[in-house]
A and B are shown apart, each in its own frame.
Chain A
């Protein structure tokens, strides 16, 4: 193919300023259509695979859950039963619940007694002036 194209290039490399599709060689047309076709085929293969991967994944998951007894025999997991928006709403609700938990306090005020060992360095008696006013 390369040699063929090189020959075409030698014949064709005239660098005119006019665009003329009639001057385009058959090799170029072939590359254009086959190339674009292959891009399509590659991505169609991905479409087919990724349309089926979730189905296989959910079927396997369903079988596992049934084996573990987490779902009934006639119960099925529906593909795409939870949308991204619903997931986002659940996540937001959980986030807000956890954040707002902080504000729900008991309202009982206690004094926590802190006991420290005596040290002359922090003793109040040495830091105040012992003056009798």
Chain B
């Protein structure tokens, strides 16, 4: 198919020559010149190699989602968005996502102004059960430890010559949280948002590939077998108090993260209060689905070849891969360190440290799979969900701190 497209582009070049000579020789509109004019409007005439590369990337995303089931809810809209954003067109006809007044530009407004990420957080809050974290609050620390990925990437990006604002926006990829990455990059480095969002979502989708080797490298086999105490039952009052206190405390510490953390905890209050089931149901189903469609599609469309295919994007992808590895290693090493201070019957399985990155629930699922590989009777999913949701809070606080420093 790509060969066919390339041939058509070549044909387009011949047509363009024919069009020019036709315009020179005859002033009246003939069928040939009309066709040539039409041809000039088509994608074939305007396509470049960069467009084709991006179309291949979009197809690859769709392939990953369909074939391997890697984050299909994100990769299908983003992949389709990449295809849509890289259909070549003539500039000035209000078609592209960056053209004022185009439909895609209106939809892109939610990304550009950071409207969609808080709405996603509302839905996440309404579907998250914080019980495992409430029953074992010390696991909060694993979420904090894994945020080393954000700050290590910030350093790395600075060392590569990015400005502090750009480095901050790139650093948030280490938080492994797509909406937070979009929110922060829309404020600090809007010109890099496409690359940052695509890197963040790509690596989130690849969590099942990236994390297992790091877990096996850092955690010795003996420690992988540790069985954790089952979490205690959490009362309804505790579940209601958690989002209220969480909202007040985290937002007092990092007010810049208010749009994200406020919506996250608001969604959780809707869920746990038990009296707003209709609202919670809308937030965790219809609303988050609609916003995911709009966010995925427009982020994908924002990867227009001429804006996206730069050396900066390549650097961002490289830094993103390192940041995921550093964040995972940070969580794992801190879990091992915690075990040094914990009593024998209270030890944690250090593999759950990998779930400190906020890719919910993929990293917790990876820990569960790795746990079962080591011991088929050791189910770590519930325990891993605690650092996982703590990672969401931690990365949002991290984003707030970077905003406070750099905006």
Contacts and interface: CB of A to CB of B under 8 A. Distances in A.
Interface of A: 1-2, 5, 8-9, 12-21, 23-25, 27-29, 31-33, 35-36, 38-47, 49-51, 53-54, 57, 79-80, 82-87
Interface of B: 131, 133-135, 137-138, 140-141, 143-145, 147-148, 150-152, 154-156, 158-165, 167-168, 229-235, 237-238, 241-242, 245-246, 249-250, 253-254, 311-312, 315, 382, 390, 393-394, 397-398, 401-402, 405-407
27 contacts: A2-B406, A5-B406, A13-B161, A13-B162, A19-B156, A21-B155, A31-B168, A31-B405, A32-B155, A35-B398, A35-B401, A38-B254, A39-B147, A42-B144, A43-B144, A44-B141, A46-B393, A49-B137, A50-B242, A57-B235, A79-B232, A80-B135, A82-B232, A83-B229, A83-B233, A84-B231, A86-B233
B230 A84 contact: yes
A50 B134 contact: yes
Contacts of B151: 31-33, 35-36
Main secondary structure of the interface of B (DSSP, over half): helix
Contacts of A14: 161
Main secondary structure of the interface of A (DSSP, over half): helix
Contacts of B393: 43, 46
B221 to A, nearest CB: 26
B311 A17 contact: yes
Contact of A19 (B141, B159, B231, B246): B159
Contacts of A80: 135, 232-233
A9 to B, nearest CB: 4
A31 B407 CA distance: 13
Nearest to B315: A17
Contact of A45 (B134, B233, B234, B249): B249
A43 B232 contact: no
A3 to B, nearest CB: 12
A28 B158 contact: yes
A72 B137 CA distance: 31
Contacts of B230: 83-85
Given A35-B402, A53-B241, A84 B233 contact: yes
Contacts of A23: 158-159, 161
A5 B155 CA distance: 14
